[in-house]
Amino acid sequence: MSRPAFLCRALAVLALIGAAVPARLRGEASPAGGAHEAGLDPAQAQALLGSVPPDREAGRRAFQANCSGCHGPNGEGGRGPTLALPHLPRATSERAIALIIAQGIRGTDMPPFILQAADVRNVAAWVWHLGQLPPEIVPGDPRHGEKLYRDRGNCAACHSLAGYGGAIGPDLTDIGSRRGAAYLRRALVDPGAEVPQNFSVFRPEANITANFLLVSLVTRDGTAWTGVRINEDTFSIQIRDFANGFHSFLKSELAELHKQWGQSPMPSYAATFTPAELADLVAFLAAHKGQP
């Protein structure tokens, strides 16, 4: 058999093998619309989504213990998105919420939780109940906040919003649905405190925000570079510099490589804006939830 024919047959076999492997095992993202689509077999689905009525009060306690660190004590948001909404963008039912709790959301900061099936159902019921509560009122003038964002804050130099701006920092188009108001204020006053603490290797399945890392390096010819990591593997690293330029380096070509964990190139706005102006800027950002 010729080499091209052998390669074609090998690739065809691999494709068939890949198609036979469940998405759950291939590591692919699974929608939260149903037990089958989410990668659960019927027995798992029955255990997780059984007919036993949930205990919402027990769900509140489990939420406080497991979820409040990211989503806030009352679902008002923080490092994780606000859950006290009448319509959650990723879940339209308690069932969908339960699946997300059990499996997490691939490519985001939401991990799967190892809880008893009853606890999953209870937490899902509590989160669903949060949508019936009055939404958090974010004080401030978003129109004035927009002016601060574009002028004195110069935020568009690093952040993109609705397709306009730089790419050094995270895109802010849907920041109001991903972060709570308290988190946004902390990030403006003390940016380093809210940098994702990712002490593992680069995770290609996670979004760029979760993989954020400030990097400084020196090549063997003495050229120094500083920028934000956009990709990394065992042998190479790619960064974006502060002029929005892309650079790729083989690690064998580097004399120095410094990963500045927990540091951010973003300046603090504690002295730039008054408390009232900070409130206006937070109100502007919190209003951006990704809708047109």
Quick one: pLDDT band at residue 22, thresholds 50, 70, 90? very low
Tally of CA atoms within 13 A in the half-sphere of 114 that contains its CB: 0
Domain hosting 186: range is 142-191+267-286
**What is the per-residue pLDDT for 163?**
87
Does 235 reside within a domain? Answer: yes
* pLDDT for residue 42 is more than 60: no
Residues 78, 101 share a domain: yes
Q: What is the pLDDT of residue 84?
A: 84
Is residue 22 assigned to a domain? no
Question: What is the predicted pLDDT for the residue at 142?
Answer: 96
Higher pLDDT, 37 or 264: 264
State the pLDDT confidence band at 12, using cuts at 50, 70 and 90: very low
When pLDDT is averaged across residues 279-284 and rounded to a whole number, the result is: 97
Same domain flag for 212 and 87: no
Predicted pLDDT at 28: 33
Higher pLDDT, residue 113 or 51: 113
The verdict on 162 and 35 lying in the same domain is no
> Considering the domain boundaries, does residue 3 fall inside one?
no
- Asked if residue 51 belongs to a domain, the reply is yes
pLDDT at 238 over 90: yes
54 lies in the same domain as 165: no
One domain for residues 203 and 83: no
The confidence score (pLDDT) of residue 48 equals: 65
Q: In this structure, are residues 141 and 147 in contact, taking their beta carbons and an 8 Å threshold? A: no
Residue 13 domain flag: no
Residue 241, pLDDT > 90, answer yes
User: Are 171 and 281 contained in the same domain?
Assistant: yes
Q: What is the pLDDT of residues 117-167, one digit of tens each?
A: 889 999 999 999 998 877 778 899 999 999 999 999 999 999 999 889 988
Residues 150 and 254 in one domain: no
What was the pLDDT predicted at 43? 60
Cα gap 28→65, rounded to integer Å: 29
- Region 22-26: mean pLDDT is 31
Q: Is 19 domain-assigned?
A: no
Alpha carbon of 71 to those of 76, 85, 224, 268, 278: distances in Å? 6, 12, 39, 24, 22
pLDDT band at 196 (very low <50, low <70, confident <90, very high): low
Asked if residue 201 and residue 85 are part of one domain, the reply reads: no
Mean pLDDT on 164-190: 88
Q: Which residue has the tokens 């300046």?
A: 267
In a domain, 148, yes or no: yes
Predicted structure pTM score = 0.67
Lowest mean pLDDT among 4-13, 99-108, 188-197, 230-239: 4-13
Q: What backbone torsions phi and psi does residue 229 show, to the nearest 5 degrees? A: -65, 135
Q: Which of 78, 99, 130 is the last residue of a domain?
A: 130
Confidence at 2, pLDDT banded by 50, 70, 90: very low
Q: 122 and 206 share a domain?
A: no
CATH number at residue 257: 2.30.30.100
Per-residue pLDDT of 70-108, as tens digits, reads 888 888 888 788 888 888 878 888 888 998 998 888 877
Domain for residue 66, yes or no?
yes
Work out the mean pLDDT of the chain and round it to a whole number: 80
Task: Count structural domains, the chain.
Answer: 3
Are residues 169 and 250 located together in one domain of the fold? no
Q: Average pLDDT of 210-235?
A: 92
Question: What integer pLDDT is reported at residue 275 of this predicted model?
Answer: 96
Of 95, 130, 165, which marks where a domain is finished?
130
| DSSP conformation letters of 197-218 | ---SS--TTS-TTTT--EEEEE
Q: Which of 172-176, 194-198, 215-219, 228-232 has the lowest mean pLDDT?
A: 194-198
Residues 122 and 170 placed together within one structural domain of the fold: no
**Res 200: pLDDT:** 64
pLDDT at residue 38 tops 70: no
Strands 214-219 and 224-232: antiparallel
Q: Are residues 94 and 39 in the same domain?
A: yes
The predicted pLDDT at position 145 comes to 97
Q: Which of 144, 176, 174, 153 is nearest to 162 (CA)?
A: 174
- Where residue 273 sits, what CATH number does that domain have? 1.10.760.10
pLDDT of 41 above 70? no
